[in-house]
A and B are shown apart, each in its own frame.
Chain A
Amino acid sequence: MEAHASQTLLPGFADPVADAQRAFKAVMQAMSRPARAVPFEVALTAPAPLSPVVAAMLLALADYETPIWLDVPLRNQAVVQFLSFHSGARIVREPEEAVFAVASDPATMPPLMLLRQGTPEYPDRSTTLIVQVAALRAEGLRFEGPGIKREAQFSFPGAPSRFAAELAANRAQFPCGVDLIFAAPGAIAALPRSVRLVKEA
């Protein structure tokens, strides 16, 4: 199976400059308006199980300066070859070495504490975790914080039970912490470390 994959390298962006800008702009909008779905158009075919949305995001943002960690289902030769070839990024084994970490399934996403957290002096040196999800829902957990006008609700199918507790712990160590991007078909949403969970009354 791996031998087959290496024979067909799927193409990257058709228009690298414009496609990268569009992908970045969607991520910027998602980051600056947490817990809100942002449309993400993509004209890209990615090797399974890498979603085309995530592929476009990584091609737009990753390069030889940003090691990428992939979870086990993603770590097949076709995906590794696609990302290495088009982005030049190194694929690393340890999640804590990664600037971008990608989980193919929310149920098995790596515990946030295993990722790079940044330091109090350099909180920017932390991992951005990208999670492939089936859909983005404007209901569920309630959030407030920078980028959110009053309150926003957000959830996705298959969130692990530990998720809310992990988010709270992530926020508790602000400014250190992990930033999360959720990629559904055609849309993304982000939970930067700055968001606060609103406690149920």
Chain B
Amino acid sequence: MSTSTTRTTYNFAYLDEQTKRMIRRAILKAIAVPGYQVPFASREMPMPYGWGTGGVQVTASILGKDDVLKVIDQGADDTTNAVSIRKFFEKTAGVATTTHTGEATVIQTRHRIPEQPLGENQVLVYQVPIPEPLRFLEPREPETRRMHALEEYGLMHVKLYEDIARHGHIATTYAYPVKVDGRYVMDPSPTPKFDNPKMDHCAALQLFGAGREKRIYALPPYTRVESLDFEDHPFERTHIAARCELCGSAGVYLDEVVTDDKGGRMFVCSDTDHCEKQRGEGTP
């Protein structure tokens, strides 16, 4: 019915203003009810669902011309999807980008929280695949919605306790559920549980976007975030025994790199910015 046209111009940060308003309103409600998943009319983005469409929509809605954007995936700025999302915003918003955690005003992340503590002038935007922490225990949306409404989280505790009975430990190592300000149980996105303590009383605003599942949720700064546990089995942060073999850091999250087929491996920082800073190098 119409002839094909090639769009060469986009609105600032791609999304149209009506969509931004809708997402902005959802973000404000998410901040007012910390940990509650606000439904929003997620748009089809020019990148696949599962690739960070929720995070991208949140970032596009909060971004201003003066913002400095950092994008990480697995803690690294140079993973292909992080590069692709960063390029998307360079092209559609023309904002400055950085790999330095301290310089960024908006950080979009998949699966990690930077090692460097975040500040009050920063916003951390998480890409979330499955926002519902109860989904694997109860697949039906009206059911899990009711459970949140009634603060009925016994099922989650039963699941964690079954782990203890079987393995002697809670066997959840990532996407480890947290309780927000004593009320909502929330999925921190698939970050390793090593990062969970960083969410607690974090000085930065944390926003979570799930595009395919059409949910936005938030942690305001200085919010109490507790990892679920039991009195006799307190939450344990994953203990990283090794040091980074490039920068020597200890007490940071490490990637295990297989170096040969004879069992050779080495450990390096997952957070590439942290590693480079420790080595006293700039970006090569």
Contacts and interface: CB of A to CB of B under 8 A. Distances in A.
B63 interface: yes
Contacts of B62: 21, 24-25, 28
Interface string B51-89: 000000000011111000000000000000000000000
Given A175-B33, A192-B32, A121 B17 contact: no
Interface stretch (A3-11, A48-56, A145-153): A145-153
Contacts of A33: 120, 220-221
Interface in A144-201: 145-149, 174-175, 179, 192-194
Given A18-B65, A25-B62, A61 B21 contact: yes
Q: From DSSP, what is the main secondary structure of chain A's interface residues? A: loop
A172 to B, nearest CB: 13
B210 interface: no
Contact of B205 (A32, A60, A175, A179): A32
B183 interface: yes
A124 to B, nearest CB: 4
A83 interface: no
B25 A61 contact: yes
Contacts of A17: 11-12, 17
A16 interface: yes
Interface string A33-62: 110000000000000000000000000111
Contacts of A120: 149-150
Given A28-B205, A33-B221, A194-B32, A124 B26 contact: yes
Contacts of A126: 29
B240 interface: no
Given A32-B220, A60-B21, A194 B181 contact: yes
Contacts of A27: 28
Interface residues of B, number: 44
Given A31-B31, A120-B150, A147-B223, A22 B64 contact: yes
Given A25-B62, A124-B33, A124-B36, A148 B27 contact: no
A2 interface: no
Interface string A107-128: 0000000000001111110101
B181 A32 contact: no
Contacts of B224: 146
A16 B184 CA distance: 36
Contact of A31 (B21, B32, B64, B180): B32
22 contacts: A17-B11, A18-B12, A18-B65, A24-B62, A28-B24, A31-B31, A32-B221, A34-B220, A61-B21, A61-B25, A61-B28, A63-B21, A123-B29, A124-B33, A145-B181, A146-B180, A146-B222, A147-B221, A147-B222, A149-B222, A174-B33, A175-B33
Interface of B: 11-12, 17-18, 20-22, 24-34, 36, 38-39, 61-65, 120, 145-146, 148-150, 180-181, 183-184, 205, 218-224
